[in-house]
Amino acid sequence: MSLRFLNRIRKTTGFRLTVWYSAIFILSSLALFGIAYVLLSSSLKQKDHETIQAKLKDYQAQYRTGGIIAIRNELNFEKYAGKPNIFFIRVAGPKNQTLFLSLPDQWGNVDLKSLENGDSSVKESWTYLRAGDRKKGVEIASAPLPDGCSLQIGKNMENREELLESFRKAFIGVMIPVILLGVIGGQFLAFRALRPIRHLINTVRAITATGKIDSRVPTGQTGDELDELVLLFNQMLGQIEVLINGMKETLDNVAHDLRTPMTRLRGVAELALQADQSPDTCREALADCLEESERVLKMLNTLMDISEAETGALKLKLEPVNISELLGNVVELYRYVAEDKQLVVHTAYPRELYVTADRHRLQQALANLLDNALKYTPSGGRVEVEADAHPQEVVIDIKDSGPGIPLEEIPKIWDRLYRGDQSRSQRGLGLGLSLVKAIVAAHRGQVEVTSELGVGSRFSVHLPKQP
């Protein structure tokens, strides 16, 4: 394993999480052991103290009945009864001189001087005494006797220390598997916690390698933040996919729709270039070319406008606009078209109906709706243009008595370059409604349609008074 590889591992989140998990586990185990050790040691000490105190009281009573002889008799009695002698017993005179001393079995000499030199005024106290060659000493409790002497009872601390020693040894033995468990457990937890991230990385890698956006990150069932991230990431991928597919489709449609006028343009130009053409034929061909190029230009401009409006790049020149005046202009603009088709255009709106909007863009949108109404309504039909003010918005309705739109086509009519099946015979680019929707949305408004086959359609534009 090279040093660089180890360095890379060290920087990974997995490694850091493993270290954190293991450290917390090991430190918790250490703390737990520490607490258990302190509790055990203090409870052993307390138990020893209780035993010594009980013995002290016992021998105090013996002394009261028969002095040192009674204590000696009691000791002899215990010896014959086979009880092990585990207590240090000392009777000290008023000047702290040793009057009687009994040491536990198998004890060496005791440093009596330190006891005799000790403070004799302490009537009830605990002392610690080292015992001969032993590493541990005795704990001694002292109590006064009625005749001015004092009684000292002590107990060997060796047993207690041995128990604590074996506890410490057991801890060292246990700590090795605990550390191993901590590291393995930490690795497992880090592996589990980072699983969604690994899936995310793999999916992003697959998308960048293949360019296909249809891959999705497998979702877990934990419902935690990482799961939420994965869900949101998948949602984002879904939206990007829809967007890319939409763009592809639009591009295909544009290419398809451009091919027809361009082919026609080329055909007309070729015809005009043929040798023996009269000037009139050439002029006519040029006029056709102009018309076709106008059509292509219009289509491209409208596409640009739609995408600008949709992406928010369309700069709106907002000003107070009287919708009634605007509708009057639009109706006037299409008066000849309506008359030509013998259509009745009925208008109904108050004299003044103000909104803050971009006059030119709004007129473009309303003109498109009226253009469609007139275009799709057969001769002798009726078109109604109405507008009314509501508390927060102005609603403009353009209603016709045309063929209506089939229910399944309604969601598609707002798509770029979409043209209804029955509308192929009419002029059009399939961009009008997309532009209307984009312009209205840029004004933070909404446009909706209700339509009934054979009865007609109603397009309603809801514009907030202040976008």
- Residues within the interface to ligand ADP (CB under 6 A): 372-373, 376, 400, 402-403, 405, 413, 418-420, 423, 428-434, 457
**Which is closer to ligand ADP, CB of 214 or CB of 340?**
340
Residues 6+ positions from 275 with CB-CB distance below 8 Å? none
**Which is closer to ligand ADP, CB of 288 or CB of 415?**
415
Which structure tokens are listed for 434?
């997309």
**Which is closer to ligand ADP, CB of 151 or CB of 405?**
405
Residues 6+ positions from 100 with CB-CB distance below 8 Å? 68, 71, 72, 89, 90, 91
Closest distance to ligand ADP from the beta carbon of 311 (Å):
19
Closest distance to ligand ADP from the beta carbon of 199 (Å):
42
3-state secondary structure 235-276: HHHHHHHHHHHHHHHHHHHHHHHHHHHHHHHHHHHHHHHCCC
> How are beta strands 344-348 and 125-129 bridged, if at all?
unpaired
Q: How many whole angstroms separate alpha carbon 103 and alpha carbon 86?
A: 8
Question: What residue is closest to ligand ADP based on CB?
Answer: 420
Q: Which amino acid is at 143?
A: A
**Which is closer to ligand ADP, CB of 156 or CB of 372?**
372
Which structure tokens are listed for 273?
């270039």
**Which is closer to ligand ADP, CB of 85 or CB of 364?**
364
C-alpha dihedral (327, 328, 332, 334), degrees to nearest 10: 20
**Which is closer to ligand ADP, CB of 33 or CB of 418?**
418
Which structure tokens are listed for 277?
């053409």
Closest distance to ligand ADP from the beta carbon of 321 (Å):
23
Closest distance to ligand ADP from the beta carbon of 452 (Å):
11
Quick one: DSSP state of residue 215?
-
Closest distance to ligand ADP from the beta carbon of 230 (Å):
38
Closest distance to ligand ADP from the beta carbon of 345 (Å):
13
Closest distance to ligand ADP from the beta carbon of 430 (Å):
4
Rounded to 5°, the CA angle 277-278-280 comes to: 125
